Amino acid sequence: MTAEDVTPGMPAAYGVEAHRTLFAEWQARVAHELDLRLPGPETAPGRLHAAQRYSVLGPGKRVRPLLVYATGKALGVPENQLDAAACAIELIHAYSLVHDDLPAMDDDDLRRGRPTCHIQFDEATAILAGDALQVLAFQILARDPAAPADPSQRLKLIEILADASGTAGMAGGQALDLAAEGRKLTVAEVEDMHSRKTGALIRASVMMASHCATIPDATRSCLDLFATKIGLAFQIQDDLLDIEGDPKVLGKAVGADKEHEKPTYPATVGVAAARARLLELHAEALAALAPLGGPAATLAALSDWLVARRS
């Protein structure tokens, strides 16, 4: 994370400063944990393993693992008890990007400043790499020594991640997104699509970490509300960046949503109203966190970054 990563002058940007070092440590931590768990290119099928590693270990922001660690910090969970959840959620995210970039979906050539997986390798390898990354996420939750020792906690993490990835979550949201191209949606329909496509994994990051702790239901409900709001805000910022972002900072082309005639949030309500909704959701997310007090300061700072980010 660099100073370039936040929108200058945006009030929300300032909470990030004090936490930059910690966020960078967590980004490095999850990259290391992922590296340990991904199969090596020297093991057959080497090309598939190379494609998996290329897609996961590239320069991503690691937003979802950061949410896992920051939620764990708010609840007093040691980092080593969060590594399995952090890796699993990032693997699902990486798989979704590989498949989303395929010609049959968004047909993108550039991701994280590098050729997309199917360009670097080939389409069949990219499909298989995505499939294998998805499976690896659940293998980690099922049997990794760093996953919770209590089988019922482990099962809960698997359930949360499966629900967030399936038709009620990301895959369903992606289907709605593809079907919506060239159509006009209501604001409620756009919010539903965004909440599933992107919000579901953001929420799962927070909820998985919450199930690595034993906490009152009321605390978990506050986190659930926080995560739901910040997940939708994250996607609205993504929509805005596709209009106003700098391709050099983003590491991908802008304007793709317009080109695909996607009914994004700004396309539906206008840029100014989209920005207002983003700030409203951010304020609501912070209000939901308030009952957790000081220990949630890092999580609050992270949400500042998610709405002020430029990449």
Residues found near ligand GRG in the complex (CB under 6 A): 60-61, 63, 93, 96-97, 99-100, 112, 170-171, 174, 197-198, 235, 238
Q: How far is the CB of 232 from ligand GRG (least distance, A)?
A: 11
CB 237, CB 275: distance < 8 Å: no
Question: Judged by CB, which is closer to ligand GRG: 174, or 298?
Answer: 174
Q: Which of 194, 196, 203 is closest to 266 using CA atoms? A: 194
Q: How far is the CB of 242 from ligand GRG (least distance, A)?
A: 8
Q: How far is the CB of 55 from ligand GRG (least distance, A)?
A: 10
Q: Which of 160, 33, 17 is closest to 87 using CA atoms? A: 33
* Distance between CA atoms of residues 225 and 203, nearest Å: 9
What is the chain written as a DSSP string? Answer: --GGGB-TT-GGGHHHHTTHHHHHHHHHHHHHHHHHHSPPTTSSSHHHHHHHHHHHHSS---HHHHHHHHHHHHHT--GGGTHHHHHHHHHHHHHHHHHHTSTTTT--SEETTEE-HHHHS-HHHHHHHHHHHHHHHHHHHHH-TTS-SSHHHHHHHHHHHHHHHSTTTHHHHHHHHHHHTT----HHHHHHHHIIIIIHHHHHHHHHHHTTS---HHHHHHHHHHHHHHHHHHHHHHHHHHHH--HHHHTS-S-HHHHTT---HHHHH-HHHHHHHHHHHHHHHHHHHGGG-GGGHHHHHHHHHHHHB--
Q: How far is the CB of 216 from ligand GRG (least distance, A)?
A: 30
Q: Nearest residue by C-beta to ligand GRG?
A: 60
Q: How far is the CB of 194 from ligand GRG (least distance, A)?
A: 9
Question: Judged by CB, which is closer to ligand GRG: 19, or 99?
Answer: 99
Q: How far is the CB of 169 from ligand GRG (least distance, A)?
A: 9
Task: Indicate the residue type of 112.
Answer: R
Q: How far is the CB of 49 from ligand GRG (least distance, A)?
A: 20
Question: Judged by CB, which is closer to ligand GRG: 92, or 146?
Answer: 92
Q: How far is the CB of 102 from ligand GRG (least distance, A)?
A: 8
